[in-house]
């Protein structure tokens, strides 16, 4: 018979072992969800498969927009911590796996850039640099958005200047990477009202236009620098170019979209025409008005079934429905067909690509 003290010791050791095992499990779980999982998901993306030319390989560029780093006035600290960790891990994993040569963030880098004091802005810049730190082989460019310096009516010179000091771009600039030309535009300076910001940006745009024209031997080119090789530029800015709305989207059963307001959700028609006329971009990328994709995601979650955006759910039946104290209570039977994710199918014999059927009551 073990003595009482021995039994106590065995219990204590067992308890300690259980705590150690639980800690190890918890650590592994957190490590998997907060680190490994990003690699598993992001590694399923790839660069487009284009014809390779060893002499002149394609330029690999990553575009992001509207990162909206939360500031000191809005949001809960835990929300900030969580969001920034997810943004940091997604960005760092993508950069590590895909090694882009340049990363462009198309405006609204900060959520409260127009409101913060100078020391708070410096803190913002520091967080931005940590979050989006890139290896030496990658160049990072931040483009100005309305949350960084305000809409045109609120873009004070002081706000523009401090953005310029940190990001070296607040007007219109030309950037050439391996003979591919990018024109970076401050959309807030495209109001066309002749203000200090707009007149300088327009004059920069005209200078760049002259460089493009002279690179094609057009016009009077005295004292105008030329490019070693001309190709149509890629336009990068925060506001989208003018369009009436995104109503014409060809999505499944789209909800009615509002008309866009010039100078708010999109650039004015006049400025869009001016940019087109002066630099003839081959393609344009922007951020800011992002209801299109967001609606796609929302619709996928909320539309009735059958829903081509959520093909896993194959049927729903109402079992019981009643109103109690003005609240609608529904019991539905949802039948869904689903697969394990591709990575899990590869890793497991059980989940080898067969669909699984699930019928549940909600």
Give least dist CB 142 to Zn ion, A.
Answer: 13
Minimum CB distance to Zn ion smaller for 100 or for 145: 145
Nearer to Zn ion by C-beta: 146 or 336?
146
CB of 70 to Zn ion, least distance (A): 15
- CA distances 78 to 35, 75, 83, 85, Å, are 19, 8, 8, 11
Nearest residue (CB) to Zn ion, 159 versus 208: 159
The answer to whether the beta carbons of residues 118 and 156 sit under 8 Å apart is no
Q: Which is nearer to Zn ion, 108 or 202 (CB)?
A: 108
What residues make contact with Zn ion under the rule CB under 5 A? 108, 145-146, 288
219: left (phi over 0), alpha (psi -120 to 50) or beta: left
Q: Cβ closer to Zn ion: 100 or 287?
A: 287
Rounded to the nearest whole angstrom, what is the least distance from the CB of residue 102 to Zn ion in the complex?
A: 22
Nearest distance from C-beta of residue 148 to Zn ion, angstroms: 9
Q: Which is nearer to Zn ion, 139 or 290 (CB)?
A: 290
Q: Which residues pair with 23 in a beta bridge?
A: none
Cα(118)–Cα(113) distance, rounded to whole angstroms?
10
Burial of 150 (0-12, 13-18, 19+ CB in 10 A): middle
CB under 8 Å to 208, separation ≥6 — which residues? 172, 173, 174, 183, 278, 279
Which among 279, 233, 286 has a CA at the least distance from the CA of 260? 286
Percent helix, strand and coil across the chain, each rounded to 5?
Answer: 40, 20, 40
CB 188 to Zn ion: min, Å: 9
Phi, psi of 323 (to 5 degrees): -105, 120
Closest distance between Zn ion and the C-beta of residue 20, in Å?
50
Torsion angle defined by CA atoms of residues 82, 85, 87 and 92, in that order, rounded to the nearest 10 degrees = -170
212 vs 239, beta carbon nearer Zn ion:
239
Alpha carbon distance 289, 325 (integer Å): 41
H helical segments located in 99-238: 118-131, 146-149, 157-167, 196-215
Smallest distance, Zn ion to C-beta of residue 302, A: 25
Minimum Å gap between C-beta 255 and Zn ion is 22
Nearer Cβ to Zn ion (8/259): 259
Give the residue closest to Zn ion by C-beta.
288
Instruction: Return the closest-CA partner of residue 158 out of 51, 345, 150, 105.
Output: 150
Q: Is 211 helix (H, G, I), strand (E, B) or coil?
A: helix
Q: Which is nearer to Zn ion, 148 or 202 (CB)?
A: 148
CB of 101 to Zn ion, least distance (A): 26
Closest distance to Zn ion from the beta carbon of 107 (Å): 6
Burial of 356 (0-12, 13-18, 19+ CB in 10 A): exposed
Nearer to Zn ion, 114 or 288 (CB): 288
Tokens at 242, concatenated: 């003018």
d(CA 188, CA 102): 24
């Amino acid at each position: 018979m073990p003595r009482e003290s021995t039994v106590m010791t065995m219990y204590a050791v067992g308890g300690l072992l259980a705590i150690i095992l639980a800690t190890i499990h918890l650590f592994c779980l957190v490590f998997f969800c907060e680190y490994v999982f990003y690699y598993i998901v992001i590694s399923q993306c790839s660069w487009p498969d284009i014809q390779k030319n060893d002499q002149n390989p394609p330029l690999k560029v990553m575009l992001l927009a509207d990162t909206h780093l939360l500031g000191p006035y809005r949001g809960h600290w835990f929300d900030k911590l969580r969001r920034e960790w997810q943004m940091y891990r997604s960005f760092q994993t993508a950069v590590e796996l895909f090694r882009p040569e340049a990363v462009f963030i198309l405006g609204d880098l900060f959520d409260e850039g127009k409101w913060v004091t100078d020391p708070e802005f410096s803190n913002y810049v520091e967080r931005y640099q940590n979050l989006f730190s890139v290896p030496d082989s990658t160049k990072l460019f931040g483009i100005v958005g309305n949350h960084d310096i305000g809409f045109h009516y609120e873009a004070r010179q002081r706000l523009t200047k401090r953005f310029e000091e940190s990001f070296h771009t607040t007007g219109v600039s030309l950037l050439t990477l391996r003979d591919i030309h990018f024109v970076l535009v401050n959309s807030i300076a495209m109001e066309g009202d002749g203000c200090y910001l707009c007149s300088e940006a327009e004059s920069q745009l005209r200078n760049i236009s002259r460089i493009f024209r002279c690179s094609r031997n057009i016009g009077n080119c005295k004292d105008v620098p030329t490019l070693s090789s001309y190709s149509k530029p890629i336009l990068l800015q925060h506001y989208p170019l003018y369009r009436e709305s995104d109503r014409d989207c060809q999505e499944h059963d789209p909800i009615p979209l509002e008309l866009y307001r010039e100078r708010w959700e999109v650039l004015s028609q006049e400025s869009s025409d001016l940019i087109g006329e002066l630099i003839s971009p081959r393609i344009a990328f922007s951020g800011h008005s992002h209801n299109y994709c967001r609606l796609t995601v929302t619709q996928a979650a909320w539309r009735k079934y059958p829903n081509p955006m959520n093909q896993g759910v194959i049927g729903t039946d109402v079992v019981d429905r009643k109103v109690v104290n003005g609240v609608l209570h529904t019991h539905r039977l949802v039948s869904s067909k689903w697969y394990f994710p591709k990575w899990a199918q590869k890793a497991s014999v059980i989940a080898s690509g067969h669909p699984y059927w699930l019928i549940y009551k909600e």
